[in-house]
Amino acid sequence: MSYLVAVADHGTLAAAASTLHVSPSAISVALDELERTLGVQLTLRRRAHGVQLTPAGRSAVTRGRRLLRDAGELATSLGEVAGVVSVGCYPTLAPTVLAPWIAALRGRHPRTRVAFVEDDQDRLQRRLLDGELDLAVLHDHGLSPDLDTEQVAANVPYLLVRRGHPASDLAAVADEPMVLLDLPPSSDHALAVCRELGVSPRIEHRTRSTEMVRALVAQGLGWSVLAQPVPDDGVARVPLPAEPLPVVAAWSRAVTRSPVVLAMLAARP
C-alpha cells in the first residue's frame, strides 16, 4: 500500500522507486500483487506515459493513506514512533531545509520514513488541503488561511553577481540585465525587494532553476536577487538591506496531525 501511495504522489514507477530506495520492478510486482489481492485494477501503467490511477485506485490511495497513518500510530502506542510522513517541499528549499530535517528525524526515529515531493507553492497548498500531504515546507508568502504554520527558517535576500563584479548594492547594477528565478513566490519576493530598494529591473532571462540562475550570472549575463543559497562557483553574494523571507512548515487545519508528523516537527534541526 505504501508503494501505491508513493506512485500516486510521484506519477511514475521510477520516481517512486527512487524515493523508496527500491527498484521499479519491485514496485511493479507489489502493485500486481495488491491488485490480485483486492480483485480490482488500481493503475494504468503505460510505457513513457507514467502511471494513472483508476477510480478504484484513487479510492484505494485515499483509504491507504489512512491505513498507513493508523499503522504508524499503532507502532507509536507500543512505544516507538514509526510510519510514513508525506511531505511536500518548494524546490529551492529541499536541499537546505528538508534534507537535513529528514536526517534528523531518521536519527531520532529510525522506523520512520519521509515520502517527499517537490512542487510549486500553489500545488503544494492544494495537496495539503486535499489531504494528500501531511506537511509542506514553503515560503510564508500568500498562504491559505486554512493552513496552520510553524516557522522553521528565514532566508535573507542577497544580490548575486559575477565573481569580481564591483557592485556593493542593488543601485550599482540597476542598468544591467537581471536574471529572474521565475518560480513564485521567489520571483514575487525578488521583484518586491527591487522595488523596495528603488530599482526597476530589466529582466533579460527567466528560469525556474537556481542552478541556471547561478550559471547565467557566473557567465556575466546579468545579476539576480535570491533568498536561498547557491554554490559560490563563479559568483559572489552582496548582502541587501531587506527583510528575511520566512520559511514555514504548513499543514491543513482540518487534519489531525499524527504522531509521526508531530515527531517530525519536534525533530527539526
Instruction: Name the residue ranges covered by the structural domains of the chain.
Output: 1-65, 80-154+245-269, 157-243
Determine the pLDDT at residue 168.
93
77: confidence class by pLDDT, cuts 50, 70, 90? low
pLDDT (0 to 100) of residue 14: 86
Q: What is the mean pLDDT of residues 64-69?
A: 81
70 against 143, higher pLDDT: 143
User: What is the mean pLDDT of the segment spanning 147-151?
Assistant: 94
The mean pLDDT of 212-228, rounded to a whole number, is 96
Q: What is the pLDDT of residue 105?
A: 95
- Which three three-digit cell numbers place residue 9? 504522489
| CATH class of domain segment(s) 1-65 | mainly alpha
Q: Is the pLDDT of residue 49 over 80?
A: no
Residue type, 197: L
* Residue 185: cis peptide before it, omega within 30 degrees of 0: yes
Predicted confidence (pLDDT) per residue in 231-250, tens digit: 999 999 999 999 888 999 99
The two domains 80-154+245-269 and 157-243 share their CATH topology (first three levels equal)? yes
Q: What is the pLDDT of residues 4-45, one digit of tens each?
A: 988 888 888 888 888 777 788 888 888 998 998 889 999 988
161 class by beta-carbon count within 10 Å (0-12 exposed, 13-18 middle, 19+ buried): buried
The H or E element that residue 12 is part of is none
Q: Which CATH class is domain 157-243?
A: alpha beta
Average confidence (pLDDT) over 39-58: 85
State the pLDDT at residue 192.
Answer: 94
Mean pLDDT of the chain: 90
Residue 259 has pLDDT above 80, yes or no: yes
Rounded to whole angstroms, how far apart are CA atoms 156 and 108? Answer: 29
Whole-number percent of the chain with pLDDT over 70: 96
Which positions ≥6 away from 238 have C-beta within 8 Å? 158, 159, 160, 161, 167, 168, 169
% pLDDT > 90, the chain = 57
So what's the pLDDT on residue 223? 98
pLDDT above 70 for 78: no
pLDDT bin (cut points 50, 70, 90) of residue 167 is very high
Q: What is the mean pLDDT of residues 93-115?
A: 92
User: Looking at the predicted structure, is the pLDDT value of residue 64 above 90?
Assistant: no
Q: In this predicted structure, what is the pLDDT of residue 76?
A: 59
> What SS3 class is residue 22?
coil
Provide the CATH number for the domain formed by 80-154+245-269 in this structure. 3.40.190.10
pLDDT at 73 over 70: no
Q: 82 with 72: CB under 8 angstroms? A: yes
The secondary structure of 49-61 as a DSSP string is S-EEE-HHHHHHH
Residue-wise pLDDT for 198-214, tens only, equals 999 999 999 999 999 99
